[in-house]
């Protein structure tokens, strides 16, 4: 087989990262993965949503994305742990760097997922499936958390395979296994098929991935047009386009500005970054694109450039979600030298309506998305300056409002 792709997926990533840290600091500490526990809220405020859950929560039917209040009603003894973004970024970075010691190409897909192109490595590591088991065990021993690894000849099938039985498993899904392993799965399990699209498929009697794979393409096109045919091809094992282009730069969106005077105030710098973020996010929405990597560049008065990037938990075009990451990058990058230029960029841009729950939005994604859409329409009709954020208003202007 010429092409071998691994998909690495950390099991209950945020909860596992927290558990690994606690056990590293205290080997006798409670392993959060062995009790009903979730990441995503505060028991006193009873605020937030479930972002990650342990396997022992399964009997209580606690689901990712549900309000903490609802989860506590199902399991009053549920252990709640507040999210720690910096911890997740640190563990994600360490894992990706480790994977790069083995794989010729590592394509980070989210904060807790990556594709590894292992093509041509059999002379180094032997049988790919046996090596996947070895890599899985090494990750567990080195980092203290477990992963699932999907093995196939393309990204889609590797991703589907890693979602089979969890945790700490290796699964294959080669093309000759599609009929037995993938087609019996419910239509919702097909990658990039959202809840509303799955309901639409079911209304036509398409209940499994196999039903879709064997449906009349003309029927699918008539009802779902381009998106339906993409799902049809995926159901038949054709690869997904994730814009992992190794011969050219990934499509990116960026904006930068040389400042009229040197900046030494972080608050002013972040106002500039917000303005840059708004323009980049607006362009993304105009093109119906979302980015999964954000970077920030700072140039000081000595013309030294410093840049840093990170992967988003989910691809997005929402201004506030991108800006939160931009500010985190700025805080970790700036050395307090006077700033001459600021720039931001978003890369790994993809055209998709798929959204994986963002870590810190507490369910705000849809609300923020609708707000951005409304602002875009106003600005398109009345001009860019027709609506401004309060932070951009001059002091005397804000007093009049």
> Angle of helix 195-203 relative to helix 217-235, nearest 10 degrees?
140
Residue 275: CA atoms inside 13 Å, Cβ hemisphere, count? Answer: 16
DSSP 138-162: HHHHHHS--EEEEEESSHHHHHHHH
Examine the residue annotation and report whether 138 is marked as an active-site residue of this protein. Answer: no
Q: Is 295 exposed, middle or buried (0-12, 13-18, 19+ CB in 10 A)?
A: buried
Among 18, 66, 107, 113, the active-site one is: 113
DSSP 193-232: --HHHHHHHHHTT--BHHHHHTS-HHHHHHHHHHHHHHHH
CB atoms < 10 A from the CB of 64, how many?
16
How is residue 305 annotated by DSSP? E
Q: Long-range contacts: 267-273, Cβ < 8 Å, 24+?
A: 269/330, 269/334, 269/339, 269/342, 270/327, 270/330, 271/391, 271/392, 272/342, 273/323, 273/326, 273/327, 273/330, 273/342, 273/344
Structure tokens at 401: 């409002």
Distance CA 248, CA 245 (A): 6
Could you list the active site residues?
113
């Amino acid at each position: 087989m010429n092409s071998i792709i691994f998909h690495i997926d950390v099991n209950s990533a945020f909860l596992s990262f927290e558990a690994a840290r606690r056990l590293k600091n205290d080997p006798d500490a409670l392993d959060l993965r062995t009790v009903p526990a979730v990441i995503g809220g505060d028991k006193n405020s009873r605020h937030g949503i479930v972002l990650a859950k342990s396997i022992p929560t399964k009997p209580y039917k606690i689901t990712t994305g549900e309000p903490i209040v609802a989860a506590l009603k199902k399991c009053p003894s549920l252990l709640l742990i507040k999210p720690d973004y910096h911890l997740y970024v640190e563990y994600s970075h360490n894992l990706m760097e480790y994977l790069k010691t083995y794989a010729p190409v590592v394509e980070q897909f989210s904060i807790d997922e990556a594709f590894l192109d292992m093509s041509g490595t059999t002379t180094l590591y032997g049988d790919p499936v046996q090596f996947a088991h070895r890599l899985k065990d090494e990750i567990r021993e080195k980092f203290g958390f477990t992963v699932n690894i999907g093995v196939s000849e393309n990204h889609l099938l590797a991703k589907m395979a890693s979602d089979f039985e969890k945790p700490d498993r290796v699964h294959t899904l080669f093309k000759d296994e599609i009929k037995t392993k993938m087609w019996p799965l419910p239509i919702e399990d097909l990658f990039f098929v959202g809840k509303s699209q799955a309901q639409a498929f079911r209304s036509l009697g398409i209940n499994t991935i196999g039903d879709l794979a064997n449906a009349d393409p003309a029927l699918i096109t008539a009802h779902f047009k381009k998106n339906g045919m993409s799902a049809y091809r995926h159901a038949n094992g054709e690869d997904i386009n994730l814009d992992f282009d190794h011969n050219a730069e990934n499509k990116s969106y960026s904006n930068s500005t040389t400042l009229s005077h040197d900046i030494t105030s972080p608050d002013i710098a972040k106002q500039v970054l917000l303005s840059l973020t708004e323009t980049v996010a607006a362009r993304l929405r105009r093109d119906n694109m979302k980015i999964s990597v954000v970077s920030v560049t700072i140039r000081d008065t000595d013309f030294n450039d410093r840049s840093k990037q990170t992967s988003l938990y989910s691809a997005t075009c929402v201004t506030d979600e991108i800006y939160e990451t931009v500010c985190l990058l700025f805080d970790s990058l700036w050395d307090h030298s006077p700033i001459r230029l600021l720039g931001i960029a978003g890369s790994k841009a993809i055209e998709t309506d798929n959204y994986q729950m963002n870590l810190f939005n507490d369910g705000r994604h849809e609300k923020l998305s609708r707000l951005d859409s409304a602002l875009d329409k106003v600005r398109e009709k009345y001009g860019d300056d027709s609506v401004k954020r309060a932070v951009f208003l001059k002091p005397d202007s804000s007093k009049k409002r």
